[in-house]
Amino acid sequence: MTMNHRQADVVSKTFVTKVIQHGWKRFGRDYVYPECSDCNACKNLRIKVSDYKYSKSERKIINRNDDTKIVIKEPSISPEHLELYNKYHAYKAKKDGWGYQQMSRLDYYQKFIDGAYDFGKELRYYIDDKLVCVDLIDILDDGISAVYCYYDPDYPRFSLGTYSLLYEINLAENLGLDWVYLGYWIDGYKAFEYKEKFQPLEILDNYPSMVDKPEWKPFKG
């Protein structure tokens, strides 16, 4: 996969909303999208918040997290953040074959904190006063963009990855926003399969220029 990178030093929420609508993804000050001359496999998905209906299993997950404390803060970094991030990635490397490299404090800052401005937030999840999940998001003019989420694999009963996304849907609804932008999706790619479950979804099949209107269409999976 070839990624087109653009760095922006001064941006507004309106700017971020527009590029996310056009299929871009923000990491720190970098705005990226796939640009492969012979491949169009990378699509974008977004959840239509107003039409979302929680399934029976999703309501069980919400109920199991009734005592999970959620705090919304500006993105930050601490030894607790880094320990949890590296623990999660070591787990995914063993379970799903992800490549693993210890995240440094500088790399974490550049990827998740720098460039967040006033629209970037982190949702911290605590169980028994222990940090068990960090969900980084951008709150846009029309929705929430899911930037990155990592969690403690020692708490499987709480389905923290799913719960964090369900909370994003609920947060978007409470804020009067229309969408939760899930970012990239590739058909048949295991790491992205979970996104298909959050119906109703819309899909962006290409990466239009900024002067063109993005054509999001219903996605059935």
| Calpha distance 135→149 (Å, rounded) | 4
Give 143-193 pLDDT, tens digit per residue: 999 999 999 999 999 999 999 999 999 999 999 999 999 999 988 888 888
How much is the pLDDT for 42?
84
* Overall pTM > 0.85: yes
Give 126-154 pLDDT, tens digit per residue: 999 999 999 999 999 999 999 999 999 99
| Calpha distance 203→221 (Å, rounded) | 10
**Residue listed under structure tokens 């930050």:** 76
Range of the domain at 107: 3-219
Task: Decide if 197 contacts 204 (C-beta within 8 A).
Answer: no
Q: How many domains does the chain have?
A: 1
Write down the mean pLDDT value for the chain: 92
Say which CATH number the domain at 36 has: 3.40.630.30
Q: Does residue 39 carry a pLDDT above 80? A: no
